[in-house]
Structure 1
Amino acid sequence: MIKRLSCWMIGISIVGLLGCATVSIQTDYDPSVDFKRYETYAWDTEQQTPSDALARDPLMRKRIKKAVDQVLQEKGFRLKTAGSVDFTVVVHAGVKERMRVTNWGSRGWYDPWWGPYGGQVDVSYYTEGTLVIDVIDADTRELAWRGINEGIVREYADVEQMEKSIQETVREILKAFPPDVENSNRK
């Protein structure tokens, strides 16, 4: 029971990041890669690590992969399960507990004059999550593009809301893929 609850909490944490109020999306790519030649892709299972939060939650990995497939296919890329491909995709995730300290100062209005009267420090704890989508060039086996979403984790009331949030987040991350969009015939 405890193990099941633990896995559930990891899943909630990962998903929570996908719909965070404070979101940071970053992308980077190798400018020497000709992204216009990319047409087909496959999922890379060799790059998975046991410490990855998605390794501990296969249902969440499945939901994220489904969202990535949908977005890539909307952009005109074709998923292949056999044969050679132009690039492979890997998803990673992680969660960290964080602490935020806000010092409101030690001065304020103290009738009838300004002066020190104590101070206030607020401490809050939150969970920060990261979702990474990597595109690896199939010929060179090197990282060609990376999209990262970092944010504060939140919980969801139901699976449908969670899946919608995953789809929105993956779409936002992959908005910048391929990086040469204006010179490409892709959407």
Structure 2
Amino acid sequence: MNRFNRRGSGVALGALVVLGVSACATTPKAYIDVADEPPDCERFGWYEEPQRPASIAEQRVRDEVMRVLEGKGYTVDAENPDCRVSGVIFTGDRPGSPVSVGLGAGSWGGNLGGSVGISLPLGGPRKVGNLAIDVIDTDRNAQVWRGTLEGAFRSPEAEPEAVRTAVENLLETFPPRGGG
């Protein structure tokens, strides 16, 4: 019986720790904004900013955005696009977890017991990489779609696979060619 109580308290303690740690995990949050008049694009080109060079991560974003748009049936046309697209990775502070964990369990003389302890907040604010993609209608010279993915990357530096996943997730809501 004593062996069961110890095993049971160990399982309960382990479950609480897993629950506490999983509560600290965060998932990226996407925000999409579409103009009153939806995008009317068939051909896309990348919006270049000549005053500053693109970072390696931004070059990855460009390549992935154009790949995803081609997969949705759009044509890449750098010279005469209907719409231009830009993407940028920027850093932001993600607040620390509001979750606190205070655990106490044990056994004494064959009985289970618990204790009250002081909970301390886990972690503090940290820098994360965010992704923003804008679509600009060249005829109207107006932004017609914007997608932002907060917390897209665990750190401000974006690895190739993380860029691929973030761009795919963000452009998932962008309509395929033909408006369907």
Following superposition, which runs of at least 4 residues in structure 1 exceed 4 angstroms of deviation? 103-106
Q: What SS does structure 2 have at the residue aligned with 1:124?
A: coil
Residue 44 of structure 1, aligned match among 38, 44, 47: 47
Rate the CA distance shift 1:69–1:120 in 2: closer, same or farther, 3 A.
Answer: same
Instruction: Give the conservation status (yes or no) of the 8 Å contact 1:75–1:186.
Output: no
Rate the CA distance shift 1:25–1:103 in 2: closer, same or farther, 3 A.
Answer: closer
Q: Percent identity?
A: 24
Q: Does 1:32 align with 2:33?
A: no
Q: What SS does structure 2 have at the residue aligned with 1:73?
A: helix
* Residue 88 of structure 1: how far off its partner (Å): 0.4
Q: What SS does structure 1 have at the residue aligned with 2:48?
A: coil
Q: Quote the Cα distance in structure 2 between the aligned partners of 1:167 and 1:78.
A: 19
Query: For 1:35-184, what aligned pairs fall within 5 Å after superposition?
Result: 35=39, 37-46=40-49, 58-82=55-79, 84-100=80-96, 102=98, 104=100, 119-125=118-124, 126-151=126-151, 153-154=153-154, 162-178=159-175
* 1:41-75 CA-partner distances (Å, limit 9, x unpaired): 111124x886xxxx6x6111111111101000011
Q: What SS does structure 1 have at the residue aligned with 2:96?
A: strand
Unmatched runs of 5 consecutive residues or more in structure 2: 1-24, 106-115
Unmatched runs of 5 consecutive residues or more in structure 1: 1-19, 110-116
Q: From the CA coordinates, give the structure whose radius of gyration is larger.
A: 2
Instruction: Give the conservation status (yes or no) of the 8 Å contact 1:127–1:152.
Output: no
- CA RMSD across the alignment: 3.5
Q: Does 1:22 align with 2:27?
A: yes
Aligned residues: 147
Rate the CA distance shift 1:152–1:120 in 2: closer, same or farther, 3 A.
Answer: farther
Q: Quote the Cα distance in structure 1 between the aligned partners of 2:137 and 2:44.
A: 9
Residue of structure 2 in register with 1:185 after alignment = 178
